[in-house]
Amino acid sequence: MSDDFNTPVTVDPRLLEVLICPVTRGRLTYDRERNELISVGAKLAFPIREGVPIMLVEDARSLED
């Protein structure tokens, strides 16, 4: 049986180049350790689930904690 579902998924670097913060419209940085996209301007961290960036403010983690 394949372990495709258990293999960690990485984000396509080309996708990271075109994504912007939905709040500030600024650049995002990739935190590989936490698997998040960071918006310094908005002070938010957007999760990446199964290789898909979740760009919803409601699902973002505040960096002010």
pLDDT per residue rounded down to tens, the chain (65 residues): 444 444 456 777 888 889 999 999 999 999 999 999 999 999 999 999 988 999 999 999 999 86
Could you list the residue range(s) of the whole structural domain that residue 33 is in?
A: 13-62
Decide if 8 is inside a domain: no
Decide if 5 is inside a domain: no
Decide if 6 is inside a domain: no
The gap from C-alpha 41 to its chain's centroid, in whole angstroms, comes to 15
Decide if 38 is inside a domain: yes
Residue 24 is predicted with a pLDDT of 97
Closest CA to 54 of 29, 24, 19: 19
Decide if 2 is inside a domain: no
What CATH number has the domain bearing residue 27?
A: 2.20.25.10
pTM: 0.81
Q: How many domains does the chain have?
A: 1
What contacts 36, CB < 8 A, 6 or more positions away? 30, 45, 46, 47, 48, 61
